């Protein structure tokens, strides 16, 4: 038999992404929706599937899902319903999952990313439907104790879960990871999910197959394999790359194109492993849930949700660069986070310089946020006060470096005029030339060497002289000090 040779191949990857929505309660009950807690402490009769219980839809979860659909350019269904997806698994007490089958809430959208080749790459969104999450099987007891059986934690069961399904438009492991990262930014920007990978808020499942052209020009299509529950971008990229190579290798060595199946990821060996062959839809015995009414989305509700979304990151980025004149790197950081962008826009609307405010947010603001382990949006910064601080710097009343940072920190604790706080902290700079000239005269008299160095062409000596004056004279305006010093040295 002639050897099989892969002359070329085309990779097709579609994505299934599960996004846990950050609602206060679960999808069909008032039980708390949150990460952590003692096992099985965030459950109630509905989550446990006890006889006689009835589900009640979480309206906020539906609204969050519609917002994501709108941001992805999807069509929003005017009429949709809930379906029961039946299967037995220990972490699914009812033995069925309430989901959406043939009438998804959102459908036919698209999402554009920067492709690996540097060009825009559009990924078509097939559907985004809402369902409830299952619980979690644990193969180790809490605390890492070894056990010879699995245990079930139902805290996650019933959590609102948005499943986003793409067409197979991704063609490289790098693009797959980039798509995941950009989607994470989007749901965080919209405020619908915390999207923390380590907490399971987002789980990725790439569906991969390869079209192989052999030495005779014949195309062989491998079966689609789905890698389940990947929860980091690094793993997403590496698992996709491994699975592509595995399918190619299997065809070259055996001629097998495989069967439609699911695979897992083993981090220790850096490889995928077979789990089971895929079910077809009819095996889940979908049928409309008789306990839930359909969802009707009217134009007024849709218009309200569109207004709440506001300006999307791409449009905001363009405006920050073109209208506000911000550098690309700064604009990208500010446009990507909703709360940070609102802070910038609010301060600019209050009359501050966009570049000055951006500098304050990205330097002192980010430093303080990191120190306090909080997002910038939760630092209790008011746009009007930030604008006041920006004006103090522009008017040379306060230095942009350490003093501005101290005022900013106090503004987070105390709602008072920025100039008042700067005065209380003794940080207002004096521009009175009398004390400045006296300090310069005294310094020149005491430092003839630095004076000679500067006049000899050593410009660094000027900075040293300014530093000495500022150290000896508290509250002097550094800009005025430098100007007066240049004048005096130029006269000498």
> Which pLDDT belongs to residue 448?
61
| 166 DSSP β-pair partners | 125
The answer to whether the CB of 9 falls within 8 A of the CB of 248 is yes
Residues 46-61: b if buried by 16+ CB within 10 A, e if exposed? bbbeeeeeebebbeeb
> Which pLDDT belongs to residue 252?
94
Which residue has tokens 């991969």? Answer: 208
The domain spans of the chain are 12-213+275-296, 311-424, 433-491
**Structure tokens of 375?**
């997002």
> Which pLDDT belongs to residue 449?
63
In 3D, which of 243, 211, 246 has the Cα closest to residue 226? 243
H or E element: which one contains 17? Answer: strand 6-20
pTM for the predicted model, two decimal places: 0.79
User: Cβ–Cβ contacts within 10 Å for residue 221, how many?
Assistant: 12
What is the DSSP secondary-structure string of 206-275? EEEEEEEEETTS-EEEPPPEEE--B-SHHHHHHHHHHHHHHHHHHHHHH-----SEEEEEETTTTEEEEE
pLDDT in tens, 358-413: 999 999 999 999 999 888 878 889 999 999 999 999 988 888 888 899 999 999 99
In 3D, which of 15, 125, 153, 122 has the Cα closest to residue 65? 125
User: Cβ–Cβ contacts within 10 Å for residue 10, how many?
Assistant: 12
**What's phi and psi for 367, nearest 5 deg?**
-60, -45
> Which pLDDT belongs to residue 282?
77
Class in CATH terms, 433-491: mainly alpha
Q: Which residues of the chain have pLDDT under 70?
A: 1-2, 143-145, 430-441, 443-485, 487-492
pLDDT in tens, 276-333: 998 777 788 999 999 999 999 999 999 999 999 888 888 899 999 999 999 998 998 8
**Structure tokens of 49?**
């599937």
> Which pLDDT belongs to residue 198?
87
User: Cβ–Cβ contacts within 10 Å for residue 2, how many?
Assistant: 7
H or E element: which one contains 63? Answer: helix 59-71
Question: Cα separation of 22 and 200, whole Å?
Answer: 12
Name the burial class of residue 469, with classes exposed (0-12), middle (13-18) and buried (19+) by CB atoms within 10 angstroms of its CB. buried
> Which pLDDT belongs to residue 150?
84
> Which pLDDT belongs to residue 428?
80
User: H helices then E strands: how many in the chain?
Assistant: 16, 17
């Amino acid at each position: 038999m002639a050897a099989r040779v892969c002359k070329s191949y085309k990779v097709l990857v579609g994505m299934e992404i599960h996004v846990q929505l950050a609602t206060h309660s679960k999808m069909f009950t008032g039980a708390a929706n949150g990460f952590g807690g003692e096992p099985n402490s965030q459950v109630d009769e509905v989550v446990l599937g006890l006889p006689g219980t009835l589900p009640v839809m979480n309206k906020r979860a539906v609204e969050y899902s519609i917002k994501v659909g709108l941001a992805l350019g999807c069509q929003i269904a005017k009429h949709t319903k809930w379906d029961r997806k039946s299967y037995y698994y220990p972490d699914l007490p009812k033995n069925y999952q309430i989901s959406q089958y043939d009438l998804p809430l959102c459908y036919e959208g698209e999402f554009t990313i920067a492709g690996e080749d540097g060009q825009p790459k559009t990924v078509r969104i097939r559907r985004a439907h809402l369902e409830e999450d299952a619980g979690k099987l644990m193969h180790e007891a809490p605390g890492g104790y070894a056990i010879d059986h699995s245990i079930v934690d139902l805290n996650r069961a019933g959590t609102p879960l948005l499943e986003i399904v793409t067409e197979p438009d991704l063609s490289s492991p790098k693009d797959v990871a980039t798509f995941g990262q950009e989607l994470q930014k989007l749901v965080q920007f919209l405020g619908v999910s915390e999207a923390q990978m380590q907490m399971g808020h987002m789980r990725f499942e790439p569906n991969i197959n390869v079209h192989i052209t052999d030495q005779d020009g014949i195309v062989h299509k491998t079966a689609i394999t789905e890698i389940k529950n990947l929860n980091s971008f690094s793993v997403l990229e590496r698992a996709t790359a491994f699975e592509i190579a595995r399918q190619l290798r299997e065809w070259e060595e055996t001629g097998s194109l495989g069967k439609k199946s699911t695979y897992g990821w083993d981090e220790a060996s850096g490889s995928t492993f077979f789990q089971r062959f895929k079910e077809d839809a009819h095996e889940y015995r979908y049928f409309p849930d008789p306990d839930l009414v359909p969802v009707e989305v009217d134009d007024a509700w849709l218009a309200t949700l569109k207004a709440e979304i506001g300006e999307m990151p791409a449009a905001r980025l363009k405006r920050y660069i073109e209208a506000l004149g911000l550098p690309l790197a700064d604009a990208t950081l500010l446009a990507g986070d909703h709360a940070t962008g609102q802070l910038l826009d609010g301060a600019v609307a209050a009359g501050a310089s966009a570049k000055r405010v951006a500098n304050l947010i990205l330097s002192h603001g980010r430093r303080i946020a990191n120190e306090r382990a909080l997002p910038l949006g939760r630092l209790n910064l008011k746009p009007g006060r930030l604008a006041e601080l920006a004006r103090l710097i522009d008017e040379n009343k306060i230095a942009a470096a350490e003093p501005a940072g101290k005022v900013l920190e106090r503004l987070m604790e105390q709602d008072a005029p920025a100039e008042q706080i700067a005065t209380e902290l003794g940080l207002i700079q004096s521009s009175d030339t009398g004390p400045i000239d006296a300090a310069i005269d005294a310094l020149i008299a005491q430092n003839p060497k630095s004076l000679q160095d500067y006049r000899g062409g050593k410009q660094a000596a000027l900075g040293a002289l300014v530093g000495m004056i500022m150290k000896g004279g508290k509250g002097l305006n550094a800009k005025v000090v430098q100007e007066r010093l240049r004048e005096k040295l130029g006269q000498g």
